[in-house]
Amino acid sequence: MTPGAAATGVKSELAQASGRKQEIGFRSGSHYFYYVYFPWKGLNVAREYVIPANPKTTLQTTQRGYLAAAVDGIHAAQADATNPLVEADIVAYALYGSCEPTPRTWFNQAVKDWIDQLVASKLPCLCSAGAITPGASQLGVSLYLWEATCTAGKFFYGTSKTALINSEDAVIATQEATATIAGLTPGVKYFVQFRPDPADPAEGARSGIYFGRPTA
């Protein structure tokens, strides 16, 4: 069966499961094609992930487990009633993904970060409910950390999304990271990204890249 034919079959079969996330995988040659089907904003959506190598190996089984955990974690954040992953966070992760040598969608960037953390024996830390509040020559920033043991980090910022060369310590309480970045130039667009500190259990994780303009 070709990947295209399989995709058609997957969508047909899973279209019966309205309102529930479904997953299906199959092997074609040396690749394992993994589909995640779920309703999103009233639409039936199927995302495809291709994982090379023999799906019977221990490593391949581990990879599939990492992928499933990432997808479940992201969907849980989207459905959360208190600190949901919303449009602003999607835009932020998309901007982050656009900085990569091979640009990625917001979803693929979030999934890659999650898997990379697990591969490095670190804890994933998805970020949601991100907000930038402009003030006089400053920006107030806040976001929710989905990893409870992430307790130290900084907001890195700059006037280019690829050169976040300045930083401000984050205050983290009950999984919310906040900071006030002062001394900024009014009207200039600043980009901001949260990063856990070295030695933090979530070291290496990244939020999306948010942006805002301080007022005069």
Kindly report, residue by residue over 198-215, the tens digit of the pLDDT: 999 999 999 999 999 999
Q: Specify if 62 maps to a domain.
A: no
Q: Are residues 86 and 176 located together in one domain of the fold?
A: yes
Per-range mean pLDDT, top range of 3-17, 101-115, 152-166: 152-166
Q: Are residues 155 and 190 located together in one domain of the fold?
A: yes
For residue 85, the one-letter residue type is L
pLDDT of residue 151: 97
Q: Are residues 24 and 105 located together in one domain of the fold?
A: no
Task: In whole angstroms, give the CA distance from residue 178 to residue 164.
Answer: 17
Task: In whole angstroms, give the CA distance from residue 17 to residue 23.
Answer: 11
Q: Are residues 112 and 49 located together in one domain of the fold?
A: no
For residue 32, the one-letter residue type is Y
Q: What is the CATH number of the domain that holds 117?
A: 2.60.40.10
Helix (H, G, I), strand (E, B) or coil at 24: strand
Range of the domain at 184: 81-216
Q: Are residues 11 and 91 located together in one domain of the fold?
A: no
Residue 2 has pLDDT above 50, yes or no: no
Q: Specify if 63 maps to a domain.
A: no
pLDDT of residue 20: 45
Q: What is the mean pLDDT of residues 83-105?
A: 96
Q: Specify if 72 maps to a domain.
A: no
Contact indicator for 159, 120 with CB cutoff of 8 Å: no
Contact indicator for 101, 114 with CB cutoff of 8 Å: no
Q: What is the mean pLDDT of residues 5-24?
A: 40
Q: Are residues 37 and 96 located together in one domain of the fold?
A: no
pLDDT of residue 23: 46
Q: Are residues 16 and 93 located together in one domain of the fold?
A: no
Q: How many degrees, rounded to 5, is the angle at CA 67 between CA 114 and CA 78?
A: 65
Q: Which residues contact 157 (CB under 8 A, 6 or more apart)?
A: 139, 164, 166, 167, 168, 181, 190, 191, 192, 193
* 158-194 confidence digits (pLDDT tens): 999 999 999 999 999 999 999 999 999 999 999 999 9
Q: Are residues 148 and 85 located together in one domain of the fold?
A: yes
- Domain total of the chain: 2
Residue 60: band (very low, low, confident or very high) from pLDDT cuts 50, 70, 90: confident
